[in-house]
A and B are shown apart, each in its own frame.
Chain A
């Protein structure tokens, strides 16, 4: 008994991963001719929901009604066949094949059993022309711009008779002009009755394109309804899980009081960090004993700023000065020598070495300093490891247990220990408490405070607004790869951060400068 006007109706969709409830009774209704926004911070469950709708995952419970019938997609191909097309952030096409071959893969026009190349190229050029893409369709797809690739993916979806288009962060690496074209195309598609589920964190775009919105947080729908009735600040508040009128004075985190450190000399100064599509002249100053928070929505360039500072992200331009000396040739090794350490956001991919023991993971970065003639005394190793295991309360069966076998919280503490035993001057923490249990979270927060009190400079990145506001003495707010606000002293507050996040985006210049 579903409304004939809906193309897809998800009811009570629930998905559980080991230890995590990724989606908790999520409802979503999509209507032909409408663009529906799906927003939420990291870990809210957006990607899980998309994957279920596109057949990559299977829901544990709940039902999906598509075109009036309950469906269950076993594979992505089934979803495609049913008319649901997903365009992922990283466009899923074949970069080395020509544009035309990509567009027609599996549906090539044939003559006498062979592919009719001339017709294929001609038709491809004609189709793409309608999408405002004027490229040589015989060129490899990988040599054309990302915007044009998006269009090829779109054209392919339309050619496959898609009725519902799911777009996951489609504009994250597009030029402003390419974004315009994309919007025009999406608008013309919806005018013809296409339903679009649009996932983005760029408020500007959402208000421009979408009629309705669903906000996810921690796997639950916290708001759904027409977008026009929702002002920016309220939308941001929904995403971050803060109610505007009840921003608490007393927090639940384990952070102590804010302190003022403006008198201290800067430990690290970054100037004009720039990388095409990612960072636009970010500056950052960090002082001893100070916790500097980096605020921003997903994709604002927070992690990238941290990586750039320690030389793990190649920059187009920008300088990093530590203790008054400018670092030449930024690289992780020079950054470490200068006393900087980054706890990366993705613990599994960039942090732990799962098959090595707790001891070896802790000492990974410190080994060269400790070794004499290439050997490190086992007793010395054990002493250091014991010190940090105790200080950080790392729970492992023994220092020889493999790190891959520990819980997320303990893995995170091992990584913290890896950096602390280098005795750094500046610690950059990228989402240090994400995905770890409550107890470990409180311990890590208390530790950050303690470290700052000992005179360490700390940069804290967190999507947990409460953690950010209470943990940081000062907050630098980023949006679209640029600093948009710096909050000091009494200004540091949830409301101020959200206001900065919700502000209208400055109209940016087209940065096609090369």
Chain B
């Protein structure tokens, strides 16, 4: 039985949830900004805005990689541990200079992604289980590398990644912006990006169209691992220390939240790059707003829980068309 014509149903009735799901996150960011501009003293201060951006940047970077994986109908729980792994690798090679150390950290991220991707695409494990293993083991491995200790870092080049500026803009913010642009181009313009979305949107169709599904999936996890490693490097530079037990803690939750709130459906087939950035900014603003108004971290966590539920609930409405 073929019953066509579903689009007619979509019509006006579905328009509202769809709008909320697609643009709600931008509206929410604007509302929060407007609210703070009026009620929070010094909020629009350049210094404060800068702080907000710097704090959100690592999560933005991790969330971009996460968005790719979620777009492929997967999930990567290991990003926080991969951040820690990257942080732990840096001091091991810092003797050779900053670039070799950063390179090795990124390689660690790529290796982690390769591991995850192979388990998902070749062995055929569920993404949650496959990446759970590295979530558990990754941080342990990082602590083993680091000898379980926090290491102060003094390499000036590396530290410049954390507090340096280029034309008045913090390097880390520039990096996040650059990666956002790169991801947007990757997803929107390249062959790979479109294939990724096709695999997430309709796997059987992608197989029939002859797409190299395994390679596409593995690449998504590798990119996610790479992005997490980049975030780990920046987090380390900002902390001026390699602290694998703290860096990237619960980053997977923040990243998934940012992606989901940004309107990328967990069922795959869509990657919303700008939405993801807005999602990360929204969570950052919520936290900042609550803190500025002397509401504690606990309230921020509960607010985060509510926002996740609302975002997924609205997206679910749209899916049932």
Contact = CB atoms under 8 A, between A and B. Distances in A.
Are A and B co-members of a single complex? yes
Interface of A: 17-20, 22, 42-43, 45, 47-48, 310, 312, 331-333, 335-337, 342, 344, 347-356, 360, 363-365, 367-368, 370-371, 374-376, 378, 404-408, 411, 418, 434-436
Contacts of B205: 344, 349-353, 364
A365 B148 CA distance: 50
Contact of B204 (A336, A349, A404, A407): A349
Contact of B269 (A48, A353, A407): A353
Contact of B210 (A333, A347, A434): A333
Contacts of B125: none
Interface in B200-246: 201-202, 204-212
The 9 residue pairs across chains A and B that have the minimum distance between CB atoms = A435-B2, A408-B4, A19-B5, A336-B210, A333-B210, A365-B209, A371-B191, A353-B201, A17-B3
Contacts of A355: 197, 201, 269-270
Interface stretch (B6-14, B37-45, B250-258, B289-297): B6-14
Nearest to A336: B210
Given A332-B207, A374-B191, A22 B1 contact: yes
Given A331-B210, A350-B202, A353-B198, 7 more contacts: A17-B3, A18-B9, A336-B210, A344-B205, A356-B201, A364-B198, A375-B191
A356 B194 contact: yes
Contacts of B191: 367-368, 370-371, 374-376
B270 to A, nearest CB: 5
Nearest to A47: B1
Given A349-B204, A350-B204, A374-B191, A356 B198 contact: yes
B195 interface: yes
B126 interface: no
B5 A407 contact: yes
Given A352-B205, A354-B202, A355-B201, A365 B9 contact: no
Nearest to A411: B4
A370 B194 CA distance: 13
26 contacts: A18-B5, A19-B5, A19-B8, A43-B2, A45-B1, A332-B210, A347-B2, A350-B208, A351-B205, A353-B197, A353-B198, A354-B201, A355-B197, A355-B269, A356-B194, A356-B201, A364-B211, A367-B194, A368-B191, A370-B191, A374-B190, A374-B191, A376-B190, A405-B7, A407-B4, A411-B4
Given A353-B198, A355-B270, A367-B194, A20 B4 contact: yes
Given A355-B269, A375-B191, A405-B10, A19 B198 contact: no
Nearest to B270: A355
A43 B198 CA distance: 29
Contact of B212 (A310, A312, A333, A349): A333
Q: How large is the interface on B (under 10, 10 to 19, 20 to 34, 35 or more residues)?
A: 20 to 34
A18 B204 contact: no
A348 B270 CA distance: 17
Nearest to B195: A367
A47 B2 CA distance: 11
Nearest to A415: B205
Nearest to A418: B209
Nearest to B5: A19
Interface in B263-319: 269-270
A355 B18 CA distance: 13
A337 B9 CA distance: 39
A364 B199 CA distance: 10
Contacts of B207: 312, 332
Contacts of A418: 209
Interface in B160-215: 189-192, 194-195, 197-198, 201-202, 204-212
B197 A356 contact: yes
Contacts of A45: 1
A413 to B, nearest CB: 13
Nearest to B209: A365
B149 to A, nearest CB: 42
A358 B211 CA distance: 18
A18 B210 contact: no
Q: Which of A45, A374, A418 has the most CB of B within 10 A?
A: A374
Given A333-B210, A342-B208, A364-B198, A18 B3 contact: yes
- A350, A407, A434, most chain B CB atoms within 10 A: A350
Contacts of B10: 405
Given A375-B191, A376-B191, A335 B210 contact: yes
A331 B207 CA distance: 9
A351 B2 CA distance: 13
Interface string B14-49: 000000000000000000000000000000000000
B208 A344 contact: yes
B204 A406 contact: no
Contacts of A336: 209-210
B203 to A, nearest CB: 10
A408 B5 contact: yes
B210 A353 contact: no
A288 B209 CA distance: 23
Nearest to A348: B2
A336 B197 CA distance: 21
Contacts of A350: 202, 204-205, 208
A23 to B, nearest CB: 11
Contacts of B198: 353, 356, 360, 364
A312 B205 CA distance: 11
Contacts of B1: 22, 42-43, 45, 47-48
Nearest to A312: B208
Contacts of B197: 353, 355-356
